[in-house]
Amino acid sequence: KKYVYLFNEGDANMRELLGGKGANLAEMSKLGMPVPNGFTITTEACNKYYEDGEVINDDIKAQIMEFLATLEEETGKKFGDANNPLLVSVRSGARASMPGMMDTILNLGINDTVAEAMAAKGNPRFVYDSYRRFIQMFSDVVKGLSKKRFEEIIDELKAEKGIKNDLDLDAEDMKELVKRFKAFYKEQLNEEFPTEPAEQMMDSIEAVFKSWNNERAIYYRRQNDIPSDWGTAVNVQMMVFGNMGDNCGTGVAFTRSPSTGENKLFGEFLMNAQGEDVVAGVRTPNTIDQLKEIAPAAFDQFVDICSKLEKHYKNMQDMEFTIENGKLYMLQTRNGKRTAQAALKVACDMVDEGLVTPEEAVMMVEPQQLDALLHPNFDPEALKKAEPITSALPASPGAASGQIVFSAEEAIEEAAKGKKVILVRLETSPEDIQGMAAAQGILTVRGGMTSHAAVVARGMGACCVSGAGDIAMNEEAGEFTLNGKTYKSGDWISLDGSTGNVYGEAIPTVEAKISGDFERFMNWADEARRLKIRTNADTPRDAAQAVKFGAEGIGLVRTEHMFFDGDKIKAIREMIVAKTPEQMEAALAKLEPMQQEDFEGIYEAMEGRPVTIRYLDPPLHEFVPTKPEDIAELAAEMNMDVEELTAIIDGLHEVNPMMGHRGSRLDVSNPGIAKMQTEAVIRAAINVNKRHPEWNIVPEIMLPLIGDLKELKYVKKMVTDTADQIIADEGVDMDYHVGTMIEVPRAALKAGELAEEAEFFSFGTNDLTQLTFGFSRDDAGKFLPEYYAAKIYENDPFAKLDQEGVGELIEIAAERGRNTRPDIKLGVCGEHGGDPVSIEFVDGLGLDYVSCSPYRVPIARLAAAQAAI
Ligand code: PEP
Ligand code: MG
């Protein structure tokens, strides 16, 4: 089997095998662009490595060595050779880009002999700079030695020499660093730094394979729905040097602005620098326009390549380049990460430019990204009164207010307590990713628009301000100073990720406004999708919000969510603890008009769109009072003494309430509840229909937690008897539907029978997941992390539908339901209804709609469109 490919053997279509970086390097080579020669070790080799118990087998090793020999031939250089040595980079490249997740090693192949020979040709500073960088990267990536200690060694040497800037270190200093670095390496690992280039390379390749399963990578994959069986490819490429002198440099650029989407080349570079220097924020980079003056020929060529790449890939590109002695080399291109605003603008602009069709544009935006557009900004009035304490780079838009924390761990801890925090760091690294996700916003002292913090925050849709160089940081003391004022851990600050302003106070936020691009883009999505998108809403306010976001109906009104409002909870409690039929009647009579009013409000807000109302579902103990004063009040109301009432309340206790007396079981034992709810629904619909005959509301009544046909028939009869009576009494001509949730595995299996009575099914995938796995949706969070760690599960099945197990039950139920009732309406109203991957799956099963929370409606619309395209 072929495990290694030369760049000129591949192309962009071979992404699965060669990874994104490898496939694009191959494609650029094919397009005749200046790409240094190299080869790619496939993702299959990575998977084989794991299959074989974390060893690179002899076959793969032999293929690597064979391709290395070919690379030597192509370049005319030789690995480890004293006269004309070949140095290479070793870089990871998975199928999907995982920024900052995997590692890079540059200048590999250098050792004392090679360095001496290279230095003899002139430019020893460059040679030893490259050498010390290699030791640093190898030690970090392959051996896991702390990067920090190497930086400290550099700082120590600079202090000894009285030097401030790295560029002032001369050849001898670099040589000294090599010596000190190696000594540190030996001291830490009890072995000499490896001098054999082939050994350096094999170790590095293995380290890249291993990095596929480091904690950060696993976390990133879980966040971004990347399966762990994809594996990563490894790219071995001839080095070109940006650190050889002043006509050398290295940089990164986007073909359009990743923040706003503006159609203008955007990027940063540093002369006489290598690799990570630009993004690490060690020196402040130049903007790409300045390259025009510094290296005009390379700049012109670069601009030309950018435009070709964009047209070729039909997407905004994010590129890395190096200039060696005035000559330009391309080291990477990929579709650029961008803010949600930028994503929409680029998509719309590219349609206008004739570069992509609307359908192609729809595929260019990640559904999850829309989140960022829908989230709060600062209250403009409060913002006017606030004075910025500093201003830095607007790295990722949005507004955030929170209490300062200085470490990712602290961010996670404090956020878990329900606090809002802002993570303040010198610069971020991939280790910080979970802390960044937990924080409201991220503020960094160092780093440009392409720094780790900026790129990762943008991807997450988190607010980020970077490069706030005025801040004097004291991480150890848990404080920073800015313009003479000290800010401590726990102090409030606010960040404006769209302007870069930082405020030394809490500022209230307001809801987001949606731009014209959004409307236009979402219309294209709506044209493409097949699935209908409904919302889960329990109040007129939520319903109206969801309609603004494009909801086409309500798939789930959880009636009990309105029970805690105002006087309702009292009436509910009276109903629950009623001892006599009279008490029960009286309580239900109080409740009915209040429920009816709620439903009228929702019907009004939905303006004739379909609304599925689900009957009371939770176990009743959730509603009874717990505070002594409330118990006393209720006892008085009910003419009971406190002991008697307490006994009734205690009687509601269940060992396992989620599998207990809830759902339609409540109606079987208390028929009054279903009757009351039916009355409320039907009367509400009749009233609203009178006010708005054009809406022609057809109530959809949904019974929860049904598991058996006879049970469904029994409860349905209560509903139809009541509804038919009211409709007859009122003398109106109104249709209504009764359906069931499918959330008990038995219901999924017996769906063929249930469909005899149910006019629609709505899959309650929260309960269906809970009952299929047999673990509680409320408690699984406690042990699921261990399941991720042990690689038993990759995802939380309550967030991402378990397509294999729960998915099969849905498939079975859909098929059996349709066999009985071909026009049965099928939807999903569990949390999965707002998850893009789950939506794609549901679309594949041909269901009619998904229903999700209002803020996820746009995400669902886009995900449904992408599923259909
Ligand atoms: C479900 O179980 O998926 C559902 C939608 O109902 P609830 O979350 O209210 O139990
Ligand atoms: Mg449920």
The CATH number linked to 665 is: 3.20.20.60
The pLDDT tens digits of the residues spanning 544-600 come to 989 999 999 999 998 887 776 667 888 899 999 998 999 999 999 999 999 999 999
Any atom of ligand 1 within 6 Å of the Cβ of 683: no
Residues 410 and 543 in one domain: no
What is the DSSP code (8-state) at residue 263? Answer: S
pLDDT value at residue 499: 80
Ligand 1 pocket, mutate which of 762, 763, 767 (most atoms under 8 A from CB): 767
- Kindly report the pTM of this predicted structure: 0.81
**With 80 as the cut, is the pLDDT of residue 740 above it?**
yes
User: Could you tell me if residue 301 is inside a domain?
Assistant: yes
Residues 448 and 581 in one domain: no
Catalytic residues: 452, 829
**With 70 as the cut, is the pLDDT of residue 868 above it?**
yes
User: Could you tell me if residue 278 is inside a domain?
Assistant: yes
**With 90 as the cut, is the pLDDT of residue 83 above it?**
no
Mean pLDDT of 350-374: 91
User: Could you tell me if residue 179 is inside a domain?
Assistant: no
Binding-site annotation: residue ranges: 558, 614, 743, 764-767
Has the ipTM of the complex gone over 0.90?
Answer: yes
User: Measured between alpha carbons, how far is 262 from 332 in angstroms, rounded to an integer?
Assistant: 22
Reported residue count of the chain is 869
CA dihedral in degrees (679, 684, 685, 689; nearest 10)?
140
Which stretch of 164-168, 358-362, 608-612 has the lowest confidence by average pLDDT? Answer: 164-168
User: Measured between alpha carbons, how far is 594 from 862 in angstroms, rounded to an integer?
Assistant: 37
Residue 343's alpha-carbon distances to 261, 477, 571, in angstroms, are 7, 40, 50
Domain C-terminal end among 454, 479, 510: 510
Any atom of ligand 1 within 6 Å of the Cβ of 538: no
| 743 CA distance to ligand 2 middle (Å) | 6
Residues 497 and 559 in one domain: no
Domain C-terminal end among 321, 338, 355: 338
Any atom of ligand 1 within 6 Å of the Cβ of 829: yes
Measured from the Cα of 536, ligand 1's closest atom is: 5
User: Could you tell me if residue 580 is inside a domain?
Assistant: yes
The confidence band for 197, taking pLDDT boundaries of 50, 70 and 90, is: very high
Which stretch of 188-202, 284-298, 836-850 has the lowest confidence by average pLDDT? Answer: 284-298
Any atom of ligand 1 within 6 Å of the Cβ of 560: no
Mean pLDDT of 718-736: 97
CATH number at residue 305: 3.30.470.20
Question: Please, what is the Cα angle at 855 between 223 and 741, to 5 degrees?
Answer: 90
Alpha helices for 83-169 (secondary structure H): 112-120, 124-141, 147-161
| 179 CA distance to ligand 1 middle (Å) | 64
Residue 60's alpha-carbon distances to 39, 205, 206, 223, 233, in angstroms, are 13, 11, 12, 32, 13
Q: pLDDT exceeding 70 applies to what percent of the chain?
A: 97
User: Could you tell me if residue 207 is inside a domain?
Assistant: no
Going by alpha carbons, the residue nearest to atom 3 of ligand 1 is: 764
Domain C-terminal end among 510, 542, 562: 510
The confidence band for 513, taking pLDDT boundaries of 50, 70 and 90, is: low
Residues 464 and 600 in one domain: no
Which stretch of 49-53, 332-336, 337-341, 640-644 has the lowest confidence by average pLDDT? Answer: 337-341
pLDDT value at residue 166: 80
Which tokens belong to 651? Answer: 């009687």
pLDDT value at residue 431: 66
| 768 CA distance to ligand 1 middle (Å) | 8
Residues 505 and 562 in one domain: no
The pLDDT tens digits of the residues spanning 842-864 come to 999 999 999 998 878 999 999 99
Which tokens belong to 463? Answer: 């607010």
Ligand 1 pocket, mutate which of 536, 557, 558, 666 (most atoms under 8 A from CB): 558
Residues 317 and 417 in one domain: no
Mean pLDDT of 105-111: 94
Residues 589 and 463 in one domain: no
Binding-site annotation: residue ranges for substrate: 558, 614, 743, 764-767
User: Measured between alpha carbons, how far is 860 from 464 in angstroms, rounded to an integer?
Assistant: 26
User: Measured between alpha carbons, how far is 449 from 286 in angstroms, rounded to an integer?
Assistant: 11
Domain total in the chain: 3
Residues 694 and 755 in one domain: yes
Q: Which ligand is nearest to the CA of 705?
A: 2
| 827 CA distance to ligand 2 middle (Å) | 14
pLDDT value at residue 462: 78
| 765 CA distance to ligand 1 middle (Å) | 7
User: Could you tell me if residue 216 is inside a domain?
Assistant: no
pLDDT value at residue 565: 63
| 764 CA distance to ligand 1 middle (Å) | 5
**With 80 as the cut, is the pLDDT of residue 620 above it?**
yes
Percent composition of the chain: helix, strand, coil (DSSP 3-state, to 5): 50, 15, 30
Top pLDDT among 474 and 747 is at 747
pLDDT value at residue 564: 67
The pLDDT tens digits of the residues spanning 29-80 come to 999 999 999 999 999 999 999 999 999 999 999 999 999 999 999 999 999 9
User: Could you tell me if residue 825 is inside a domain?
Assistant: yes
Q: Which domain holds residue 756?
A: 529-619+654-868
**With 60 as the cut, is the pLDDT of residue 361 above it?**
yes
**With 90 as the cut, is the pLDDT of residue 82 above it?**
no
Any atom of ligand 1 within 6 Å of the Cβ of 558: yes
Any atom of ligand 1 within 6 Å of the Cβ of 830: yes
**With 60 as the cut, is the pLDDT of residue 101 above it?**
no
pLDDT value at residue 279: 66
Mean pLDDT of 738-749: 98
Question: Please, what is the Cα angle at 160 between 157 and 161, to 5 degrees?
Answer: 90
Top pLDDT among 377 and 455 is at 377
pLDDT value at residue 251: 92
Any atom of ligand 1 within 6 Å of the Cβ of 424: no
pLDDT value at residue 459: 55
Q: Which ligand is nearest to the CA of 768?
A: 1
Residues 757 and 830 in one domain: yes
CATH number at residue 454: 3.50.30.10
Residues 422 and 559 in one domain: no
Strands (E), 399-526: 399-405, 421-425, 441-444, 463-466, 472-474, 479-482, 485-488, 492-496, 501-503, 509-510
pLDDT value at residue 460: 65
| DSSP secondary structure string for all residues of 286-309 | EEGGGHHHHSHHHHHHHHHHHHHH
Which tokens belong to 772? Answer: 């299929």
Binding-site annotation: residue ranges for Mg(2+): 743, 767
| 704 CA distance to ligand 2 middle (Å) | 7
Any atom of ligand 1 within 6 Å of the Cβ of 767: yes
Which stretch of 408-422, 460-474, 494-508, 764-778 has the lowest confidence by average pLDDT? Answer: 460-474
Residues 547 and 451 in one domain: no
User: Measured between alpha carbons, how far is 726 from 249 in angstroms, rounded to an integer?
Assistant: 81
Q: Tokens 């560029």, residue?
A: 167
Mean pLDDT of 687-697: 97
Q: Which ligand is nearest to the CA of 798?
A: 1
Mean pLDDT of 484-499: 91
Q: How many helices (H) and strands (E) does the chain have?
A: 34, 33
User: Could you tell me if residue 583 is inside a domain?
Assistant: yes
Measured from the Cα of 704, ligand 1's closest atom is: 6
Mean pLDDT of 483-505: 92
DSSP-derived 3-state class of residue 443: strand
Q: Tokens 């280039």, residue?
A: 197
pLDDT value at residue 199: 94
User: Measured between alpha carbons, how far is 682 from 382 in angstroms, rounded to an integer?
Assistant: 46
Q: Which ligand is nearest to the CA of 664?
A: 2
pLDDT value at residue 790: 87
Any atom of ligand 1 within 6 Å of the Cβ of 556: yes
Per residue, the 3-state secondary structure of 669-711, as one string, reads HCHHHHHHHHHHHHHHHHHHHHHCHHHCCCCEEEECCCCCHHH
The pLDDT tens digits of the residues spanning 784-826 come to 878 988 889 988 898 899 999 999 999 999 999 999 999 999 9
Residues 413 and 501 in one domain: yes
Which tokens belong to 415? Answer: 């956020």
The confidence band for 281, taking pLDDT boundaries of 50, 70 and 90, is: low
